[in-house]
Amino acid sequence: MAAEQGAPLDGPTLLGYVAEVADALPDDGVRRRLVVVGGALLAWHELRESTHDVDSAERLEPAFEAAVAQVGARHGLAATWINAAASRFLPVGFDPSGGEVILDHPKLVVLGADLDQVLLMKIFAGRESDTDDLGRLWPLTTFTTIAEVLHAYRAAYPHDEDDPFLASYLEGIVGEGNGT
């Protein structure tokens, strides 16, 4: 379940809240991992002004959820302001190790997912907000042509129905000069 829509949060504010979650985690010798895949990742890259939640690629275990709820209550956020709702958009072969370290805390490492994979996820999700994100993400990916994106997309989502308009949709976002 995604977080309720509250006040939008910018990247530095979210990062501060995530650091508070790390501090609130139990001292049980377990170093947890959060792999961020959505709008918070874009906010941390300054590609988007704000977002309402932090999308995790992985389910949160109970101790993590409790720390998230505790920090959320302190700041007037939904108990699920960090959630795994975006995990349903993960591509086949999603590899969290390809991302960058955003926060390195003794109790928590926060990784930003590989931006190529995030671009593919946003294509698959196909929400209105994802259209703007695609244009912002494109220059930071390794893709150089729409044909490369389409090939990667088909490999990442082999069971998704072929969309005959996907290439023209992407050309409209990233520019026709990127070739198909």
Q: What confidence tens digit (pLDDT) does each residue in 121-174 have?
A: 999 998 888 999 999 999 999 999 999 999 999 999 999 999 999 999 999 998
pLDDT at 77 over 70: yes
Same domain, 99 and 28: yes
Shared-domain flag, residues 83 and 35: yes
- Domain identity same for 102 and 33: yes
Q: Are residues 107 and 164 in the same domain?
A: no
86 and 151 co-located in one domain: no
CB neighbours of residue 170 within 10 Å = 23
Q: In which domain, by residue range, is 128 found?
A: 118-178
Return the beta strands (E) in the chain as ranges: 32-36, 54-55, 82-83, 100-105, 108-112
**Type and span of the H or E element at 168:** helix 166-174
- The pLDDT, as a whole number, for residue 180 is 53
Quote the mean pLDDT of the chain: 92
β-bridge mates for residue 83, sequence order: 55
Residue 2 lies in a domain: no
Residue 3 scores a pLDDT above 70: no
Same domain membership, residue 122 and residue 82: no
Same domain, residue pair 16 and 73: yes
Q: Quickly count helices (H) and strands (E) in the chain.
A: 7, 5
Same domain, 15 and 99: yes
Claim to verify: residue 57 and residue 95 sit in the same structural domain: yes
Residue 45 has pLDDT above 70, yes or no: yes
**Residue 1 maps to a domain:** no
Domain contains 33: yes
In a domain, 5, yes or no: no
CA distances from 79 to 1, 39, 52, 65, 68 (A): 10, 18, 12, 8, 7
Q: Above 80 in pLDDT, residue 177?
A: no
29 by Cβ neighbours in 10 Å (0-12 / 13-18 / 19+) ranks as: exposed
pTM: 0.89
Q: What is the pLDDT of residue 2?
A: 42
Report if residue 3 sits inside a domain.
no
pLDDT more than 70, % of the chain: 94
pLDDT of residue 178: 59
Task: Identify whether residues 92 and 173 lie together within a single domain.
Answer: no
Query: Are 46 and 101 contained in the same domain?
Result: yes
Question: Pick from 96, 115, 134: which residue ends a domain?
Answer: 115
Residue 82 three-state SS: strand
**Rounded distance between C-alpha atoms, residue 143 and residue 116, angstroms:** 7
